[in-house]
Structure 1
Amino acid sequence: MAVKTTFSAQEFREILSYYNLGEYQGFTPISHGSVQTNFFLQTTQGRFVFRYYENRSIGSVLFESHLIQYLKGQQYPCPALLLNRQGEAVGIYREKPYIIFEFIEGQHLEYPDEMQKRQFIQEVAQLQNITRDYQPVNKDDRWNYDIDCGRKLARQAAQRIDTTNAREKLAWFEHTLSQLQLPASLPRGICHCDFHFSNILFKDGNFAALIDFDDANYTFLTYDLATLINPFIPAFDWDSWSDFKPGDNIFDFSAARETVLEYNSYRPLSPDEKQYLFDVFKLSIMFDCVWYFERGNVSDFFEKRKIDALNNLGRDAFYQEIFG
């Protein structure tokens, strides 16, 4: 259960006293999520979601609250924020920020069908359409996924782990980052950056909402698209990659090609975005490497094998497989 901080009924009564959300009736911990603490709150006016930010600064949470208010103003399907009597979306309790969200009915589908996948891809493209010209608040309080951010986080991970393997992996990581081509002409905006199935809601078979913008940040607009495509065969994964030998053919672009085609129909990619999708995709792999920095020996590990395969394929061949 992903509850790191416990709350009593009396504490929730105290928090709700600052809102016009009815009388407290009960709460239930939410097991989904592994970072922040979440509860369902039941009042005489209905059901709400209480999120307590365990490891986010007030600036980071303000980034999220302003973004969600902007998205709701654009009729984007995501949960609304409930304001307190002072008109504020972010509260502080025990020196940590929290937000109370609208509750949206729906189901989390680990295996959506083809129609549901297309609906989801459309909403991802619309998120980038809406936020391309959005000016984020407290942008620097978020990890904005680019080369500098990746380098900083990898150095922190290597220092924390403090082993020879971690230091050597950092050297590989920094060299690989230096090979990426990400020109200033690539448009930036807001990407969600966490499309785990528990963050996507469907109702009656149709897309209902995208939730949990805890990892959203200001980055290359194609970053979300890069995380949606998987040009590798299904059998090649984090727990099975070692079954393959270096040089084995591990590519299957059919699903990736369909995803990009669907996305492009709602947000047409610029020539530069097409040309450098190869590099943004590699950047997304590098951030996976950051999150799992302790995993694998520097000589051969999952993310390195993926990068090596892409380097052997090359940017031009990748482009032809996706767009040709």
Structure 2
Amino acid sequence: MENSIIADLEESYGLTCNQIVPVEGGWLNQKWKVSTDKCELLVKQFSNMRYSGDKLKLVESALQRQIILEKNGVPCPSVRLCGGHAIRLLNNETAYMVMEFRRGKVENPNTVTIMQMRSLGNACGLMHKVFLQLPALSVRGFPIISGRIMDSLWANFYACKQECSSILPIEYRKALLMQEPILKQLTNRFFDKMPKGIAHEDFSSDNILFDVDCVSAIIDFDRNHYSYIWHDIGRAILSFALKDDRMDMEKVYAFLEGYSQHLALTLPDIADALRLSWCIEVPWWIKPELFRANREKVVRFKNEMLWLTEHWFELDSIICSIDFRFKKSFQI
């Protein structure tokens, strides 16, 4: 940590750092666990390669919303303010924030439990409920208009198809061709019926910490903005319930039970949330270069999109396959 930040922590926040330990995670940003006489905190320095002044303003707004969430019982770290601001600007090169350090473990489809999935659904539902109580935001910076997403999907498809030569990975060419029947039946009506509001927009396993039975913290609200809120649901289901090319319906239903304690949600809604996630994310992950990548996280995202592409037309039967006897036995 830069000496200027250490000095400013004491001068601006009244914090004397007894121990500073680097924390992994966060593309290009730097994080440290800071121990003081009274508590443990997380200090995050924003990368000036990733964050311009305008982008930091958007993150500031997002962090102010995180503060509202925490005050309303959503399990997320409390943010320390300085002069009413969540982001402390030392100079043109240095911007950082201070928040509560939350302990917890990152889980995956192999390790997450039914109780943790129910807690995740509960936390997600409460987060969306609180977000929906906030004033509507500008849609600047996000293609919330359904036509824009359709145009983007078709433009991406045609651009990729033109480059689809024999030198590209055969798996990629196959994945691209499988998109066409989906796009031909997809209309703006699908997007028009999707609930809109403020969403986390990075609701993946990396950003959710668990203790033994429940969610201990939802983190990294940098991207939260006005969007399709069911994208969070689809992303959570993909990140935690899709295992070995099979959807674990016990975990899906556990999430549904938790979410439904705050907002209405049905199994067909979850099927549509998965389709929505495909519409938003397929241009990100179905790219030629990613079919040559071997990073575990990238491979996981790519394979999730491939699974959705393959099962698009049968998602309703897959997700809605829970019969009454199972649901009855599953209740606590």
Note whether the superposition's TM-score is higher than 0.5. yes
The answer to whether the aligner puts 1:234 opposite 2:243 as a matched pair is yes
Q: 1:307 to 1:255 in 2, by over 3 A?
A: same
Identify the match of residue 67 of structure 1 among 65, 73, 76: 65
Report deviation, 1:44: 4.2
Q: Deviations over 1:247-270 (max 9, x none)?
A: xxx66645434433443344223x
Q: Distance in 2 between matches of 1:138 and 1:51?
A: 27
TM (normalized to structure 2)? Answer: 0.69
Q: Deviations over 1:59-102 (max 9, x none)?
A: 32123112112212323221111111x22211224445432112
- Larger RCO, structure (CA 8 Å, separation 6 or more): 2
Q: Distance in 2 between matches of 1:67 and 1:265?
A: 22
Q: 1:157 to 1:140 in 2, by over 3 A?
A: farther
1:295 corresponding residue in structure 2:
290
Q: Distance in 1 between matches of 2:277 and 2:87?
A: 30
Q: Deviations over 1:158-201 (max 9, x none)?
A: 989x9546998889869855715434343222332334444233
Q: 1:119 to 1:105 in 2, by over 3 A?
A: same
1:307 corresponding residue in structure 2:
309
1:121 corresponding residue in structure 2:
121
Identify the match of residue 30 of structure 2 among 37, 43, 46: 37
Listed as ranges, the matches of 1:76-95 within 5 Å are 76-84=74-82, 86-92=83-89, 93-95=91-93
Given that residues 80 and 86 in structure 2 are in contact (C-alpha distance below 8 angstroms), is that contact kept between their aligned partners in structure 1? yes
Report deviation, 1:30: 0.8
Listed as ranges, the matches of 1:230-269 within 5 Å are 230=238, 234-236=243-245, 253-269=249-265
Report deviation, 1:36: 2.8
Q: Distance in 1 between matches of 2:94 and 2:139?
A: 19
Q: Distance in 1 between matches of 2:154 and 2:267?
A: 27
Instruction: Tell me the C-alpha RMSD between the 2 structures.
Output: 4.1
**Aligned-partner residue type, residue 112 of structure 2:** P
Q: Distance in 1 between matches of 2:95 and 2:179?
A: 34
Q: List gaps (5 residues or longer) in structure 2.
A: 293-301, 325-332
TM (normalized to structure 1)? Answer: 0.71
Higher helix residue share: 2
Q: List gaps (5 residues or longer) in structure 1.
A: 1-6, 237-249
Report deviation, 1:281: 1.2
**Aligned-partner residue type, residue 308 of structure 1:** E
Q: Deviations over 1:14-38 (max 9, x none)?
A: 4315523322334221113335321
Percent identity among equivalent residues?
Answer: 17
